Amino acid sequence: MEKEVIQQKQNKILRFLLNFGKLIIDAAKLCFGSLVLGTVIKGEIPQSTLLVTGIIASGVGAIIGVTLVTLFEEK
């Protein structure tokens, strides 16, 4: 009985991490769209700063998100 409860808690944590990874991937997409593509269209902040920040944030977010989704994907 106790093993079932522990297993259910572990499954909830794994699902949470999987969904959190997907959320990070979506945030990286939005970051890329707003910062990088926004720089191309119109930039009030220096374009080089905005572009580098957007690329770094998108890359880091994508790496973290893909890692979490890969590690905790339901098999």
pLDDT by residue (tens digit) across 15-43?
Answer: 888 888 888 888 888 877 777 677 667 66
CB atoms under 10 Å from CB of 68, counted, come to 20
The answer to whether residue 72 scores a pLDDT higher than 80 is no
Residue 71: the pLDDT is: 79
Two tokens at 50? 């905005």
pLDDT band at residue 74 under the 50/70/90 scheme = low
Amino acid at residue number 39: T
C-alpha–C-alpha distance, residues 39 and 45, integer Å = 8
Domain ranges of the chain: 2-72
Would the pTM count as exceeding 0.85?
A: no
Residue 60: the pLDDT is: 87
Length of the chain: 75
